[in-house]
Amino acid sequence: MQRRTFMTGVAASVALPTLRAQQLGLPNGPIRIVVGFAPGGGTDALARVMAQKLGPVWDRQVIVENKAGASGMIAAEYVAKQPSDGSTLLMAHINSHALAPAMGMRMGYSPDRDFAPIMLVGVTPNLLICNEQQPAKTVKDLVDLCRKNPGKISFGSAGSGSAQHLALEMFKLRAKVDAIHVPYKGSGPMLTDLIGGQIQYSFDTMTAATPHVKSGKAIPIAQTRLKRAKSYPNVPTMAESGFPGFEATTWYGLVGPGKLPTPLAQRMNEDMNKVFAMADVQEKFEQFGAEDGGGSREKFAQFMTSELKTWTKVVKEAGVKAEG
């Protein structure tokens, strides 16, 4: 009798995750988190941290799928057209949900109508970085270098119209310099070329740049939030380097297709917040400079609306246009 009770308890405990998943209305198969950039970039890194932890919570295989191109818009358009059953999520990004619409780029989706916000994952500075061979390793020296070599110093980005591209354009306007913009299909391939010396500088995401900074292959010059990130206490901000008010961040958040049922979206938010509160997850995010994540679905929706307004104003005032 005792053995039967024990076995019944074990069976019940094993069944709980599956039962809970069924109650949530989760799909029977794997759940995909689609990333709009190549493997090795910041968006990809954070998505993989979340996927690894969400799998056991949902009792489902959670897969990261990369659909690189058009600064994240290809992935966003793809997810917008997927079934709203929770089987396909998007790691939304400042590029696809703020910069592209701010720049009036042709998109096959509406950032607000075609997506259901789930949770803000994090906000990071961009890091102004270079490879070891570059002579200018301070903001002042870089400005002098660009002025002495107009139109010759190269800056890579994750794509035309990307957060890195807009940070560069802001720098060019504020410093009154000319430089070459070299777009890539994500931070991963761009960083490979930066380290290899094919390009010289980049305002890359702190998330993507951090492993290369730690290995000594990329040199951090400045960061682009008004406050220094906890993980980079010794790297000055652009504001501290002679450019007051200079702020150009990158942010990430999980969204589903627009008709994702509200109860399912809300429960996903609760589960993601539990994952986000785990000590090892917080440690990894801090290493990448990703801060201020978590919170309600409403907080994320309001944040995206605010970002779109901010960058629409910047693009208009600066007259920035996407290349290609």
CATH number at residue 164: 3.40.190.10
- The per-residue pLDDT for 322 is 61
Average pLDDT, the chain: 90
Among 241, 264, 294, residue at a domain's last position: 241
Domain count across the chain: 2
The closest of 284, 308, 257, 292 to 124, measured between CA atoms, is 292
Residues 151 and 299 in one domain: no
72-105 pLDDT, tens digit per residue, is 999 999 999 999 999 999 999 999 999 999 999 9
d(CA 263, CA 187): 35
98-133 pLDDT, tens digit per residue, is 999 999 999 999 999 999 999 999 998 999 999 999
Residues 14 and 91 in one domain: yes
Cα dist. 193→2, 70, 206, 213, 243 in Å?
65, 19, 17, 15, 28
Ramachandran angles phi, psi of 182, nearest 5°: -120, 100
In a domain, 324, yes or no: no
Residues 257 and 228 in one domain: no
Residues 89 and 178 in one domain: no
Residues 197 and 117 in one domain: no
Q: Which domain holds residue 129?
A: 125-241
Q: Which residues contact 277 (CB under 8 A, 6 or more apart)?
A: 294
Residues 237 and 305 in one domain: no
d(CA 285, CA 257): 25
d(CA 107, CA 122): 24
Q: What 3-state DSSP class applies to 217?
A: coil
Among 202, 218, 241, residue at a domain's last position: 241
Residues 17 and 44 in one domain: yes
Residues 12 and 115 in one domain: yes
14-30 pLDDT, tens digit per residue, is 444 444 444 557 888 99
In a domain, 209, yes or no: yes
Residue 5's pLDDT band (cuts 50, 70, 90): very low
Residues 169 and 274 in one domain: no
In a domain, 323, yes or no: no
CATH number of the domain within which 309 lies: 3.40.190.150
In a domain, 157, yes or no: yes
The closest of 111, 99, 92, 115 to 252, measured between CA atoms, is 92
Q: Determine the Cα angle at 42 with ends 33 and 152, to 5°.
A: 135
Which pTM value belongs to this model?
0.78
Residue 38's pLDDT band (cuts 50, 70, 90): confident
Residues 44 and 60 in one domain: yes
Among 241, 268, 298, residue at a domain's last position: 241
d(CA 242, CA 110): 38
Residues 119 and 188 in one domain: no
Residues 299 and 193 in one domain: no
Handedness of CA 100, 102, 108, 109 (dihedral sign): positive
In a domain, 106, yes or no: yes
